[in-house]
């Protein structure tokens, strides 16, 4: 088995097995394994939900920032349209920066199509529904998110400054 695949097995040996699964996941995240297969259902679901929450914050920040800038250029005097979007973009980007940016889990995405994962040892798994985490480079998406959020916040600040001066 390649070293870039880490499997967290669902083997209950004692009453602290769930905590042991979490420690194994943390260890796999810290070693920056390319693929992590999580067999324990609860840990896998919690991890997938955490990643989905971070993805939602990221997408909301990007789309609302883009919407703010576009609507602000199309309707420059309609602050009721672009100001809320700029606010949402800045808040979501800020929450993402504080809560998710430095979490090692943010470098991973859940892979739902197991055929996309090469050399996946499906025959050795003890569950039929594992959660597969694949490491992805997210530097470009973070740069895009931050540029759009800063741009939207700056644009809104500039428009408010111009209106009240």
- Nearest one of 7, 4, 3 to 122, comparing CA atoms: 7
Closest to 106 in 3D by CA, of 149, 143, 54: 54
Helices (H), 15-164: 17-30, 41-74, 79-99, 139-163
Q: Determine the Cα–Cα distance for residues 107 and 18; give it in Å rounded to an integer.
A: 23
Give the sign of the dihedral formed by CA 62, CA 64, CA 69, CA 73.
positive
Residues of the chain with pLDDT under 70: 1-3, 16, 117-118, 120-124, 126
Q: Of 36, 43, 160, 9, which Cα lies nearest the Cα of 104?
A: 36
The DSSP annotation for 124-151 comes to G-S-SS-EEEEE---HHHHHHHHHHHHH
Rounded Cα gap, residues 108 and 110, in angstroms? 7
| pLDDT per position as a tens digit, 24-40 | 999 999 999 999 989 88
Pairing state of beta strands 35-38 and 5-8?
A: parallel
Q: 75-104 pLDDT, tens per residue?
A: 988 889 999 999 999 999 999 999 988 888
């Amino acid at each position: 088995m390649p070293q870039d695949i880490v499997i967290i097995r669902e083997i209950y040996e004692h009453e602290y097995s769930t905590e042991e699964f979490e420690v194994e996941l943390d260890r796999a995240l810290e070693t920056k394994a390319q693929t992590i297969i999580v067999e324990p259902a609860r840990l896998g679901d919690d991890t997938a939900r955490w990643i989905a929450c971070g993805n939602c914050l990221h997408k909301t920040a990007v789309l609302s920032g883009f919407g703010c800038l576009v609507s602000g250029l199309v309707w420059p005097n309609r602050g009721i349209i672009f100001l809320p979007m700029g606010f949402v973009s800045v808040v979501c980007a800020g929450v993402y920066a504080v809560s998710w940016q430095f979490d090692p889990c943010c470098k991973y995405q859940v892979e739902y199509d197991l055929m996309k994962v090469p050399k996946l040892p499906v025959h050795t798994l003890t569950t039929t529904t594992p959660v597969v985490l694949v490491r992805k480079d997210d530097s470009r998406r973070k740069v895009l998110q931050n540029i759009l959020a800063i741009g939207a916040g700056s644009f809104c600040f500039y428009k408010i400054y111009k209106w009240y001066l």
